[in-house]
Amino acid sequence: MTEPKESLYPEKWLSKASAGDRVACELRMQIISGLIESGTILSENKLAADFSVSRSPIREALKILASENIIRLERMGAVVIGLTEKEIEEIYDVRLLIETFVFERLVKMDTEELVNELSKILEMMKVAIKFKDADEFSYQDVLFHETIIRAINHSYILMIWNNLKPVMESLILLSMRVRFKEKYEDFTRIVENHELYIEAIKTKDRTLMVKSLHQNFDDVQGKVEDLWMSQQMLSKGVELENE
Amino acid sequence: MTEPKESLYPEKWLSKASAGDRVACELRMQIISGLIESGTILSENKLAADFSVSRSPIREALKILASENIIRLERMGAVVIGLTEKEIEEIYDVRLLIETFVFERLVKMDTEELVNELSKILEMMKVAIKFKDADEFSYQDVLFHETIIRAINHSYILMIWNNLKPVMESLILLSMRVRFKEKYEDFTRIVENHELYIEAIKTKDRTLMVKSLHQNFDDVQGKVEDLWMSQQMLSKGVELENE
DNA sequence: TGAAGTATACTTGTATACAAGTATATAACT
DNA sequence: AGTTATATACTTGTATACAAGTATACTTCA
């Protein structure tokens, strides 16, 4: 199998990362994008050769991906699980679960600083949209939700987020790259939705919060579509490369 | 520091485990029991010497414990976080969160087989109580809840459980060992509570479920106490050993 | 031809070696 | 004495080596 020349994961996000983290990020993107099909068996030795590193960082990467549920470590080789529609829905189940929990804590807190922080991030997102920078937009989008979650200072909720985050991030990256090309008009809706979310936190309005969460949730169907398109685009790219 | 001669973690549960897993389990118990105080800085080399293994399994163990939020990997050394009352409450927040989610799914399912399985596990728990086998009881207790969670076939909820489970297990082990010695009468209440839980699943009675979950939750205060007593008992044991 | 055993080419887990970086303590200089 | 430079004793991350186990394929025998 030919590895892609360019990496799918933004390299500038890896400035201080170890080789293990790099491999994990790149493999994760390849798996979620469908470039590596689910069912594939990954060999530590082969991966080490492909990525030109030793088995140590590869082992580290596989452990990470296994904890994220996108591969399964078996007696011989790691089996790729990947993301089907079912898994994506499950991820959003969990996001809904924890963000609802977080909101219930937030209504008991002073949220002024948080609202301010979120407004700043939203402005950053708008700039990213203006300059059609999908990666930057994705970064800020993930940061937006992480900021909300961090606000309640709950180490075990944060733990769940940390386990979910890498997969979410990859998913959003791929989805946004497609949207910037094919569905640019989507972003006005995404911005509106985030404004709604901020408003809900500011006014501590539970119904508004549920509404914005559900709009966000409805977007999942879109994400599944994007992922499919992303897979089409990438596989065409590979085909062209092979000619 | 003197390491305890006997391991805190039941050795028969480690029959097929790798050295890395063994170290993780033992370290986890030492941290949660308070034998290793929070704030302690763990060195890979020192641990390797203490456990008579190389750095490879130690690194693996530290990664595991870091993902469970009981240590924090820093630039130099791993800092022990441990479990304070706050963390224990947080763990139960998450358990409450996921078990409530699971129940909402269960009410839409056929639960006959599950109820049967749970009844079996409860019988095992009763036997463990009769023979005052704290470790066996803990095992079945953890299995009870895991069985419920697995029933809905939700890979990301299961992922959360898998992250929580080792710490839960350690906590329950320590707590139950104390109770078998000091508060044996507690077990009638624990059994009743589990019976209530099964009944709630059988009849799909949401209010009963909330009631039993909350009774379980009220037990948390007890667990904090147990942990404290466990720490007292263990530190006395160590003191005696040093004389 | 079919079954059983053996060889081989993998696999994982662990140990060890080494490079590069960081804190601590000692020494030198003003 | 106080500050700066340097030595050293750590640290992590990566590479490599090796032992033990497992699946595959081949060979041998009936």
Say how far residue A1 (Cα) sits from the centre of its chain: 26
pLDDT band at residue B211 using 50, 70 and 90 as cut-offs:
confident
- Confidence check: pLDDT of B93 > 80: yes
pLDDT at B140: 96
The strand D neighbours among A residues 38-67, by Cβ under 7 Å, are 52-57, 60
Query: How distant is C1' of D22 from CA of A75, in Å?
Result: 9
pLDDT at A141: 94
Query: How distant is C1' of C6 from CA of A71, in Å?
Result: 34
More confident site: B122 or A223: B122
pLDDT band at residue B237 using 50, 70 and 90 as cut-offs:
low
Task: Read off the pLDDT of each residue in A83-102 and give the average, rounded to a whole number.
Answer: 90
| CB proximity list for B152: less than 8 A, separation 6 or greater | B102, B105, B106, B109
| CB proximity list for A131: less than 8 A, separation 6 or greater | none
A30-39, A107-116, A216-225: least confidently modelled range: A216-225
Whether the beta carbon of A59 falls within 7 A of nucleic chain C: the reply is yes
Cα–Cα distance between B24 and A212 in angstroms, integer?
41
State pLDDT tens for residues B155-172. 999 999 999 999 999 999
pLDDT at A239: 54
Task: Read off the pLDDT of each residue in B135-156 and give the average, rounded to a whole number.
Answer: 95
Which of A156, A157, A160, A168 is the best mutation test for B, with the most CBs of B within 10 A?
A: A156
What's chain B's length in residues? 243
Which of B21, B54, B156 is the best mutation test for A, with the most CBs of A within 10 A?
A: B156
Cα–Cα distance between B60 and A229 in angstroms, integer?
38
Q: Fill in the DSSP letter of residue A11.
A: G
**B28 HSE (CA, 13 A, CB side):** 28
pLDDT at B232: 76
Protein-contacted positions of strand C (CB under 7 Å): 10-17, 22-23
Q: Which amino acid is at A144?
A: F
Cβ atoms of residues B213 and B170 within 8 Å: no
Rounded percentage of chain A residues whose pLDDT exceeds 90: 61
Q: What mean pLDDT value characterizes chain B?
A: 88
Phi, psi dihedrals of residue A42, rounded to the nearest 5° = -95, 135
pLDDT at B238: 54
3-state secondary structure chain B: CCCCCCCCCCHHHHCCCCHHHHHHHHHHHHHHCCCCCCCCEECHHHHHHHHCCCHHHHHHHHHHHHHCCCEEECCCCEEECCCCHHHHHHHHHHHHHHHHHHHHHHCCCCCHHHHHHHHHHHHHHHHHHHCCCHHHHHHHHHHHHHHHHHHCCCHHHHHHHHHHHHHHHHHHHHHHHHHHHHCCCHHHHHHHHHHHHHHHHHHCCHHHHHHHHHHHHHHHHHHHHHHHHHHHHHHHHHHHHHC
State pLDDT tens for residues A188-225. 889 999 999 999 999 999 888 888 888 877 666 666 77
Beta strands, E only, chain A: 41-42, 71-73, 78-80
pLDDT at A213: 84
- Confidence check: pLDDT of B22 > 80: yes
Check CB contact under 8 Å for B159 and A159: no
> Sign of dihedral through CA atoms B153, B155, B156, B158?
positive
Cα–Cα distance between A170 and A61 in angstroms, integer?
15
* Residue A191 host element (H or E): helix A186-203
Cα–Cα distance between A153 and A155 in angstroms, integer?
6
Task: Read off the pLDDT of each residue in A126-138 and give the average, rounded to a whole number.
Answer: 94
pLDDT band at residue A2 using 50, 70 and 90 as cut-offs:
very low
pLDDT band at residue A89 using 50, 70 and 90 as cut-offs:
confident
Edge-to-edge strand order for the sheet containing A41-42?
A41-42, A78-80, A71-73
> Sign of dihedral through CA atoms B46, B52, B57, B62?
negative
- Confidence check: pLDDT of A106 > 80: yes
Compute CA distances A92 → A18, A200, A224, B154, whole Å.
29, 20, 12, 12
- Confidence check: pLDDT of A28 > 70: yes
